Amino acid sequence: MKVDQDKIVRVFYNIASNAADAMPTGGTLTVTTEDAGGMVKVDFKDTGTGMPEEVKRKIFEPFVTYGKKHGTGLGMAIVKKVMDDHKGKIEIETEMGKEQRSACCSRCRNYSSLWLPVLLRVSL
Ligand SMILES: Nc1ncnc2c1ncn2[C@@H]1O[C@H](COP(=O)(O)OP(=O)(O)OP(=O)(O)O)[C@@H](O)[C@H]1O
Ligand SMILES: [Mg+2]
C-alpha cells in the first residue's frame, strides 16, 4: 500500500485544526506515534471542549458541523474517506461522550487514533 503523502497531511491538518477550534482560549494538542504491528498508530489528544455524543456518532458524515460559525462539516468526512482509501482505521473518544477509555489521560477531552499502513523500504 502506497501512502498518499498529500492526503495524509490533509488528514493531520483537519484533525489538528478541529483541535485548535475546540481550544479557543488555548490548550494542548499532543501527538504521539507508536508501532502497532505493521501499522503506525498516531494519537491526537486535545484539551478542548470535547463534543456531544450525537455529534461524535455522525462525525464522519458530510456537512455535520456543530458549534462553529464557519464550519463546512467536511473535515472529518474527508479524514474518513482518506483513511478508508488507505485501508487504515480511525477511532474517536471524547470526554462528553459516554464511553471514555481509561487510555485517555484525565486532562484530555478529545482523543483521535489513526492506524496507518506502513510502507517499508529497506535499502542495503
Ligand atoms: N477535537 C475536537 N474537539 C471538539 N469537537 C470536535 C473535535 N473535532 C471535531 N469536532 C466536532 O465535530 C464537528 C465536525 O468536524 P468536521 O471537521 O467534520 O467539520 P467542521 O470542523 O465543523 O468544518 P470544516 O472542517 O469543514 O471546517 C465539528 O464541527 C466539531 O463540533
Ligand atoms: Mg474541521
**Domains of the chain and any CATH numbers:** 5-117 (3.30.565.10)
Ligand 1 centroid to Cα of residue 121, in Å, is 35
Protein residue whose Cα sits closest to atom 31 of ligand 1: 66
Q: What is the pLDDT along the chain (124 residues), one digit of tens a residue?
A: 677 889 999 999 999 999 999 999 999 999 999 988 888 899 999 998 899 989 999 999 999 999 999 999 999 999 999 999 998 999 998 887 444 444 555 567 888 898 887 654 555 5
Terminal-to-terminal C-alpha distance of the chain: 21
Q: Dig out the grid coordinates for 71 from the structure.
A: 464550519
User: How far is it, in rounded angstroms, from Cα 33 to Cα 44?
Assistant: 9
Task: Pick the atom of ligand 1 nearest to 71's CA.
Answer: 23
Protein residue whose Cα sits closest to atom 7 of ligand 1: 18
Tell me the ligand closest to 62's alpha carbon: 1
What predicted TM-score, i.e. pTM, was given to this entire model?
0.88
